Every structure is written in structure tokens, then in C-alpha cells.
Amino acid sequence: MPILKKTSPKTRIIPLGGLGEIGKNITVFESENDIIIVDCGITFPDENMPGIDAVIPDFTYLENNFSKIRGIFVTHGHEDHIGALPYLLKKINVPIYSTKFTIALIKRKLEEEEMADVAQLEEVHYGDIVIKGDFAVEFIRTNHSISDSCAFAIMTPSGVVIHTGDFKVDYTPIDNAPIDLMRLAELGENGVLLLMSDSTNAERKGFTMSERTVGATFDDLFSKITGRIIIATFSSNIHRVQQIIDIAAKFGRKCAICGRSMVNVVEVAVEIGYIKHAEDTIIDIEDVNDYNDNEIVIITTGSQGEPMSALTRMASATHNQVEVSRNDTIIISASPIPGNEKAIARMIDELFKRGANVIYKALADVHVSGHACEEELKLILSITRPRYFMPVHGEYRHLVAHAGIAKRLGMSPDDIFIMGNGNVLEFRGPDLVIREEQVESGNVLIDGLGVGDVGNLVLRDRKHLAADGLVVISLAVSDKDGSILKGPDIVSRGFAYSHETENVLTQIADVAVEAYNFQLAQSRERSRSDLNLKRTAIKDSVRAFIFENTKQNPMIIPVIMEVGAAPEPDVPEDAFAEIDS
């Protein structure tokens, strides 16, 4: 690697996402003068985020240090590594560097966001070195469940840092290009200051199986299945898609691509030559009914049971082109992402109810992970021989398990750092300086077109509504003396009351009137009127009454409208004389 002019011996490494969680990966490397960013991904909302579409990192630290940022380096094209790029580029426009397939996916994503002209996308090849200020980044080939994944060897003012990205050690990958262990070992010989290594599968013993084992399983299944085959897998795993296409052709079947993300990724992969097929192998999904069942394979999204995905819509009989029948075999070629287990189980149940035969990982080797298991993690630690080690990319237990692997290989616990998002690891030259500093980090919630508009209070209200429902109490009162002119009207949504408490809603009106009149009398004594006090009085009284009678706690919203008295009509005294006569 090149010898860089060390304008400062200080290097700071700041993870803004990806630690203690799955997804939202982003790491900042900072010198006195420059910043580079590694990855910029999203994560998906959990059950405590009702209504949220996606979660992105907090970019406050990057916005505050915009003048120092020299570029973004992306390890691979999964959403948890590229999904937040459009949001960051709206705030900070800097060049993006990555490999061919990753750049193609980023370009397609930016085109969908009508940002194609915003970013400077730079394609880099394995072995290339990109120099940006105080940093030089070398791209090293790795294997993962997506093409063109890479690790980075980052020359910093303090020494070499290796960031593995997501990886596994596959000696027989589909593209015949295994991980470059030789280069990693060479870096280890020359001295590695810090290793930052993928921890997703740190709890799993042994080795991760090669992607080719899935192809062998598919081949065996295709030879036995006589009806239509529907395979759900991750859209980004184009090596698996290629295997499916090849095996389908071998058995005389046509392939139809289904699902928006699957169509987009396959189109990109075909355009750049990463998926190859005979001209008549792939057909339009709308034409599947023109063929016999034994002539068709459908490759679809929905392996995670996403509510609007193609396979989930097939399971619920709401898909426009595909109706699942007893002659279908469904193969789910993926493992559940943590948190998706229940959704996947429900979808599988619905597919079975429709008479389909469903094959998933528990029944056959139809999926292999893209992440390294314990023995592969040991291998990387052993050949790079870092002075310091930081496990990355995983929930906290994964980081702890990976740290345990390093300890068993002889690393001192004092040289292993389990970090959190926003923590700062600082080096002065090759020596570590522990910083108590915590930079601003966390979750920014995406709700439709809103970015960061939903906070803890909104989430709390949504969870309250989901759990207990809503009761609205509306009153029209005089703007002169405060007396009730109309109401109260009671409207409830999602508030369940039983036969024993069916009169509760009727009684709520009396409770609200009593609370309002009591507060009205109090305000008259004070010679001042405060609508907020009246609303609070109604809310507190009604909440207490409902809980006492139903043991439920719906959200209470009092609405008090002050109105003037209706004007007397301007009608002549004899206007009704003719009618009276």
C-alpha cells in the first residue's frame, strides 16, 4: 500500500450504526483533516415501531463535519449497507466508491429516487487503491450472498485497519472467485493495527456451507417435482438466481421473475452480464398460465413473509398473476432474519392451507448463510493477526461471542473492544486512547415521505392506540358563559367492551358532563376560563371511570368547541300572517 503523508498521527473510528443491531451499518474513519465513510444502510422496524417503513442512521455528526468528508466506500449492495444512501446524499453530496454490481444497484436506487444526477459513482476493481486525504482504501475480494462483495484495508495515519464487511469463506463460489485470503495474510505479515470483522454468525460452530450445495439440492428437487415450482429467495442473491435459471433450463422449464425488487435486481444483473441465460429461458410473469405446470419455475420475493411481498400475496390469494394450487411446490430458499419468524410461519401455514407442498430450510438444504461461522472467523483472526480487535455487524450477543473467539485464540481482553453506536475509538499513532466521548447517533424513523418526523411521543401514542383503542368526547359550549350547548358526543375506535359493560359508553357522557361542569364552576370562582383545564378534567375522570369498569385504558381525547349563540332571524312580524290564515 502507498506511504501516506501523515498530517496527524490521530485516527478516530466511530460506528454510527450496525453495532448491537442487525442492519443500519455505517462507520466513520476520521483524521485531523479528513473523514471517509464505510457503508450507509437501513434496518427495518420492529414491533415497537408501528407504522414505520424503515430506520436510517442519525447523520448529525456527519452534517456537523461535512467539510472533512472525502468519500463513501461501500462493501456490497445489500440494503443494510446501501439503503440509507439517498437520505445521506440529500444532505451531503460526496463521491461513492464500490465494485461493479454494487455501483449498478446504487445507481438503480438513485434513479428510483430521481437522484441519478446527484451522486458521483466511481466503479473500483479488486486490488485497486483509492486515496482520499489522509486515507487510502484497498478493495479486497470476499464472498457473501451477493456478488462483488469486498473487504477494505484502510491505511490510516495510525496504521492499517481491515474492515471485512459481511463475508464468508467459500472455496467453491459460483463465480469461481474465492475470498483473497492470500492478500489478507500478506497484510497480517506487514502488521494490522485493528481488525473489524463481521459477527453475524459468531455463535455458530464450524464452517458455512458453499453456495454450490444449494444448487445440488435444487437439482435433486427439480428431478422429483412434477408440478409448478415457486422459489422465494433474497433478490440480491444473484448467484442463487443464476443456479435456479440454469437448473430450470436443464429440466426444460421456463423462469418467470416475480416481485418488484427481484425484477429490478435481475434486470441490473442481466444488463451488466452477471446473470446469463438463453433468450427464451425467462418469460413474463403474466404469461405463466400459457404453459403447463411442469414447464414453469417462478422466482419470487417474499422469503421473509413481508406483508406486501409477492409470495405473501400468493399465500393470501391476492396476487394478480399467480394463484397457488395443490399442484405447486413452494421452496423458501432463505433463513429468517431475526424478528421475521412469526410472519414467515404464518405465510407457510397459509400456503399449506391452499394445498401446496412447502419446502424450507428445516426440511432441506435449500439455503446457506452468507456470513462466516466460528472456524472462518478464527481463520481471519489468525492470518491478519491484528494488534487490536473490534467485532462489528451484529447484535450485542454476537459481538460478545466474536470477542470470545478472539480470546480463545490468545488475544488479550484489553485489546478487544465491544463498542456501541456513537462510541469513539481513538488512536494516537499506533497507541490506543480510550475516549469517553459519545457522538450523536441513533435511529431516524422513515414514515412515508417523512424523515425523522416520528419521535418517541408519536410511537408511544401509536402503541397506545394499537393496544387499547380510542375514545373521543366532543362538546360544543358557549363562548360567553361556558354552558354546554350540544353534546357530549362519544365516538370510540378499537375500544372493546363486553356485554356486561355495554352501558359504559352511555355513562361516559354523564361522567364527562360532571367533570366539565365541576371545572367550569371552579373557573368561575377564579374569574378566568381555561379550556386546557377542562379537557384535562374530562380526560382524567373518563379514564378513571373506564378503567374502574372495564380494566381497560384507551386513549381519551376530549374536544371542546367554543361557539357563539345563534343570531335571531331578521323576519318581519307579519311574515307568517298568510300562512297562519
Q: Which residues are catalytic?
A: 198, 371
Cβ atoms < 10 Å from Cβ of 189? 10
Terminal-residue alpha carbon distance, the chain: 110
Q: How far is CA 429 from the centre of its chain?
A: 37
Of 523, 492, 486, whose CA–CA distance to 507 is shortest? 492
Q: CB–CB of 31/7 below 8 Å?
A: yes
| Cβ density class 157-182: b for 16+ within 10 Å, e for less | bbbbbbbbbbbbbbeebbeeeebbbe
Residue 470, sorted as left (phi over 0), alpha (psi -120 to 50) or beta, turns out to be beta
Residues 6+ away with beta carbon under 8 Å from 60: 440
Residue 422, sorted as left (phi over 0), alpha (psi -120 to 50) or beta, turns out to be left
| In 17-116, alpha helices (H) | 60-64, 79-82, 85-89, 100-112
Cα distance between residue 355 and residue 10, in whole Å = 64
Q: CB–CB of 89/118 below 8 Å?
A: yes
DSSP string, 100-166: HHHHHHHHHHHHHTT-TTT--EEE--TT-EEEETTEEEEEEE-B-SSTT-EEEEEEETTEEEEE--S
Cα distance between residue 564 and residue 498, in whole Å = 39
Cell numbers placing 1: 500500500
Residues 6+ away with beta carbon under 8 Å from 468: 494, 495, 552, 553, 554, 555
Which amino acid, residue 346? R
Q: Which residues pair with 486 in a beta bridge?
A: 476
Query: CA dist 406 to 188, 327, 391, Å?
Result: 15, 50, 9
Whether the link from the prior residue into 338 is cis, omega within 30° of 0, is no
Cβ atoms < 10 Å from Cβ of 554? 24
Query: CA dist 28 to 32, 406, 424, 425, Å?
Result: 13, 24, 10, 11
Cα distance between residue 220 and residue 113, in whole Å = 42
